[in-house]
Amino acid sequence: MPGTFEPIPGGGAAVALDDVEISIIRSLAVQLLELIGPGPAEDDDADPLAELFAEGPSEPPSDPVLRRLFPDAYSDPEAPGEDEEQRAHSAEFRRYTENDLRAGKRENALAVIRSLDALNLVGDGGAVLKLSPEESRQWLGALNDLRLAIGSRLDITDEDDTDLLYRLPDEDPRKPMVMAYLWLGGLQETLVSTLMP
C-alpha cells in the first residue's frame, strides 16, 4: 500500500504515508489555502442571509494559478476574437459563483490538513491515513487543485507538456516541483480508482 490509495470497507480509502510525505502534502495544502484567501469573517452579529447573497468578484484573478483554479465560464480573456457578450456573461457567472467555489476549495484543503494533523505517527515516522467516503472526495478535490496550481507554475497546459517533465535533468530547478506534481498525480489516480464502483 505504500504511496497508493486502496479501498477500505465502507467505501473509504487508505494510504500509507511517511513523515516526509505527510509534511509535503500538508505544506502544499497550507500554501493552497493562503493562495485561495481567507473566508468570510466570523461575526456573531452578522446576518447569515447577507453572506448567502454576497456577490463575488466579476473580474478574473490576475494570478495565473488562481485563473487556472477559477477559470472564466464563457470566455478566455487571452483568446483572440472574444466578444463583449461572452465577457459580460463570464463576469456575471463569476460574481455569483466564485465565493462558493473558493469556499469549497478552502474546505477541501482544510480537510486534508485536519486529517493529516489527526494522524498518530508510528515508530518509523509514518502512518496509515484512513479516509471516509466524504473525506476521500475532499482529498480528491484538494489533490486536483494542488496539481492545477503546480501545473500552472510549471506552464503545463496539455499532456505533451507532462511527457516533457519526465525528461527534465536532475539539475533543473523545477525538478522538485515536477516530482511533487507527478507524485500527487499518482495519488490522485489511485484515489479515483478507490471511489469508482
Does residue 196 register a pLDDT over 60?
yes
Q: Predicted confidence band at 78 (pLDDT cuts at 50, 70, 90)? A: low
Does residue 155 register a pLDDT over 80?
yes
Model pTM? Answer: 0.85
138 or 67, which is more confident: 138
Q: Predicted confidence band at 92 (pLDDT cuts at 50, 70, 90)? A: confident
The pLDDT of residue 27 is 97
The one-letter amino acid at 165: L
Q: Where do we find the cell 490509495?
A: 5
DSSP states of 64-128: HHHHHHS--SS--TTSTT--HHHHHHHHHHHHHHHHHHHHHHHHHHHHHHHHHHT----TTS-EE
- Within its chain, how far is the Cα of 191 from the centroid? 14
Q: Predicted confidence band at 181 (pLDDT cuts at 50, 70, 90)? A: very high
111 or 196, which is more confident: 111
The pLDDT of residue 51 is 58
